[in-house]
Structure 1
Amino acid sequence: MAIRHEVENLIRRGNIFYWRARLPKCFINCESGSRLSLSLQSSDHKKAKIIARQLNMRLAELKLKPKNVMADRERLQKLFEHVRDEMLAKLDDISTMAKRNGRASDVVEMELDLEAGWAYQLLAKFGTSRDLTLEGDCSFGSQ
């Protein structure tokens, strides 16, 4: 029997985690009520939660863009498989770097490395000339 976890659309069957999401009605080329089911190829709960959150975020982004509502189920399945593979590669890279530094199985260190990665991505996107804040509507601070 599938067990649900605290992350939306994340279930476990046996030792493997799956992401099973209902396709929104806005995707007009998909049957109403159809679902995407994707193996996360991981038995680690922490990794599965990270990947499932990323997939949920990507599905929410797709719903907001009008050009994406024409996507069919097969294209969506391939897209989410690609996102899953990217996340698995990123997490493997983090694990490899942690092994080199002697903290391979320390989940707290892995989460800190992910946060540092997000910080570097924000700097790459917005640059260092702006002060970023997380207050209110997350607008830019003074320049």
Structure 2
Amino acid sequence: MSNLERRGAVYYWRRRMPPQLARIAGQTHLKISLQTKEPAHARFLAAHLDATAAHVFMSADPRFITKEQLTELFRQVFEQHRNKVALMADFSRQEAGFDPALEPVDDQGMGWAYRAIAKNGVAARVGEGDRLAMTEAGIDAHGIASIELTLAAMQHTGVARPSRCAVSS
């Protein structure tokens, strides 16, 4: 996945900043440790950060944002999402009929849904390019349909909307 790199055993999210923000920040890339060694978890977190970056980079006025604000924004989004993921995992483990074998499949679906949102905005749909990438990643037609349902559910429930932190900055 783009913007994801592994240094040693830990994954990092690294994103090139638009030139106008790079001049203000004094650096060309943002880099955040995802604090995980698990590739699936790293992809999931990176997809959410990609979606936030797409929103911020398109809407932020570079004249009114500092390097510190930009860095803090992404750190807050990362922490919020990591806490949300942990809470959701705790809730799902307590439900009757919990199947640990299905959890990675659900996580993968959420990751692909966030990837579509990062690429195409909150009204994203799974397009042919997305289907091709999913097929190349080994996802069958049933899995792709499941990802489309996940994306629709995220949009319907408001999960796909930008975080308040991103909107208020």
- What's the TM-score, normalizing by structure 2? 0.58
Aligned with 2:24 (options 4, 21, 29): 29
CA displacement, residues 4-35 of structure 1 (integer Å, 9 cap, x when unaligned): xxx1110011221111122211214222x522
For structure 2, the 5+ residue unaligned runs are: 112-146, 159-169
Q: Which residue of 2 aligns with 1:43?
A: 37
CA displacement, residues 14-65 of structure 1 (integer Å, 9 cap, x when unaligned): 221111122211214222x522111111111111111111111211111211
Q: Tell me if 1:71 matches 2:65.
A: yes
Higher helix share: 2
Counterpart secondary structure, 1:26: helix
Root-mean-square deviation over aligned CA pairs = 2.6
Q: Higher RCO, 1 or 2 (CA under 8 Å, sep at least 6)? A: 2
Count of residues in correspondence between the two structures: 118
Deviant stretches of 4+, over 4 Å: 111-121
Larger radius of gyration: 1
Determine what percentage of the aligned residue pairs are the same residue: 22
Structure 1 residues 57 and 35 mapped into 2: Cα distance closer, same or farther (>3 Å)? same
- What's the TM-score, normalizing by structure 1? 0.67
Preserved contact between residue 17 and residue 30 of structure 2 (Cα < 8 Å)? yes
Aligned with 1:99 (options 93, 99, 105): 93
Structure 1 residues 25 and 45 mapped into 2: Cα distance closer, same or farther (>3 Å)? same
Q: Which residue of 2 aligns with 1:137?
A: none
For structure 1, the 5+ residue unaligned runs are: 1-6, 126-143
Preserved contact between residue 95 and residue 104 of structure 1 (Cα < 8 Å)? no
